[in-house]
Amino acid sequence: MAKIKRYLISCSSDAELNVRRLYVWGGYNHIRWCAETMAEAQRHIASCQREYGCINCDPQVHTVDLTRTKETNKQKLTNPKKV
């Protein structure tokens, strides 16, 4: 099945000490929700810093690997099961 690799960004821009209150950012305005490359994730961080200008900005990029275990509808139609 398909393996999907994305990059997510987390930060605690208000210097929050509680890890459960971290912000997780995926995208802004017309940018994709999850970055496909590390460079795109860095651009997301730069645009966030320009837009919000947080004093205590501490972004971290996380690599997320998703493995799809179910066929898509199109795959089901193109590969019919033999009876």
* Structural domains in the chain (count): 1
Domain range for residue 15?
A: 3-78
Per-residue pLDDT at 65 = 93
Per-residue pLDDT at 27 = 58
The predicted-structure confidence for 46-60, as pLDDT tens digits, reads as follows 888 888 887 778 889
Per-residue pLDDT at 1 = 73
54 lies in a domain? yes
83 lies in a domain? no
41 lies in a domain? yes
What residue ranges of the chain have pLDDT lower than 50? none
- Look at the block and give the residue holding tokens 């205590």: 56
**Nearest of 46, 51, 45, 52 to residue 8 by alpha carbon:** 45
19 lies in a domain? yes
Per-residue pLDDT at 32 = 59
d(CA 73, CA 71): 7
d(CA 28, CA 63): 19
